[in-house]
Amino acid sequence: MSEPFDLDALMQQALAMQQQIAEAQERAADTEVVGSAGGGSVSITMTGAGEVTAVRIAPEVVDPNDVELLEDLVLAAVRDATQRAAQLQAGALGGLGDLGNLPGLGGLGGLGGTGELRPPGDESPPR
């Protein structure tokens, strides 16, 4: 005879995984990444959450007659920093799995409309 499916145990496991994901995202958000362009002549420092905290521009790339080049370098550095922050987030979540693909839930067992997990019996509206 097989044991009955234990939805409460599955939900507790999913809630623990959600907590692990939140902690991993928080650690990543507190980490800084640096994106650069022009061989490092322009650099952007950004948190893992995507907040730009510093912009550094080497004086030799500031040419009032070629502002377009400086704009392009800043944009490239922002894109580089954004990509690094996304990689940081993905790396922080690596190995924790995807809660949306837990088998057998089918939208039941406490998944709110926003995908937020709630304990069994919690009928409060999703946040």
Give the model's pLDDT for residue 88.
85
pTM over cut 0.75? no
Contacts of 88 (CB under 8 A, 6+ apart): 28, 31, 33, 48
Is residue 105 predicted with pLDDT exceeding 50? no
Is residue 6 predicted with pLDDT exceeding 70? yes
pLDDT band at 106 (very low <50, low <70, confident <90, very high): very low
Spatial strand order in the sheet of 52-57: 32-37, 42-47, 52-57
DSSP state of 4: P
Is residue 30 predicted with pLDDT exceeding 60? yes
The pLDDT > 70 percentage for the chain reads 72
**Domain covering 29-94, topology:** Ybab; Chain: A; (3.30.1310)
- Per DSSP, what are the bridge partners of residue 57? 42
Q: Please say whether the dihedral angle defined by the alpha carbons of residues 75, 76, 77 and 82, taken in this order, is positive or negative.
A: positive
Residues in the chain: 127
